[in-house]
């Protein structure tokens, strides 16, 4: 199997490094306290997903809540996603994850789409 995941991409990617937070949703979790929250960095983003760097392994198929701090917004952008693929980073420090965004609030998905479209125009 090839390590080139570009053939799976449905949307153009934009290279951007943002600090974001992911919450790994545990099966049967009832509160956020039951879940692990990890600070990570985006590598590239699209309207349908993200490639991120994380310091610890997260299993393929894991469901995530994603918080994207935006400088000009009072609250984080809240998204939902799933880990589509995972592999060790080339330097042996951390892991690369491919995330597919899932349905979250209509308003947050609209804001995400607008933020990505703004980056494409730069």
* pTM summary value: 0.81
- Judged against a pLDDT cut of 90, whether residue 120 lies above it is answered with no
Sketch the domain layout of the chain as residue ranges: 10-121
* Distant-in-sequence, close-in-space partners of 109: CB < 8 Å, separation ≥ 6: 79, 101, 103
pLDDT in tens, 50-90: 999 999 999 999 999 999 887 766 778 899 999 999 999 98
CATH for 10-121 (2.40.10.480, 2.40.10.220, 2.60.40.650, 1.10.3720.10): 2.40.10.220
Q: What percent of the chain has pLDDT over 70?
A: 83
């Amino acid at each position: 199997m090839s390590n080139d995941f570009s053939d799976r991409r449905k949307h153009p990617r934009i290279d951007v490094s943002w600090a974001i937070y992911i919450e790994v949703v545990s099966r049967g979790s009832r509160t956020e306290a039951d879940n692990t929250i990890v600070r990570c960095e985006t590598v590239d983003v699209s309207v349908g997903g993200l490639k991120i760097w994380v310091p610890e392994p997260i299993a393929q198929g894991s469901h995530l809540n994603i918080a994207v701090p935006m400088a000009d917004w009072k609250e984080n952008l809240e998204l939902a996603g799933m880990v589509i693929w995972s592999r060790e980073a080339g330097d042996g420090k951390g892991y690369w994850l491919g995330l597919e965004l899932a349905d979250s609030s209509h308003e947050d998905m609209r804001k995400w789409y607008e933020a990505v479209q703004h980056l494409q125009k730069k």
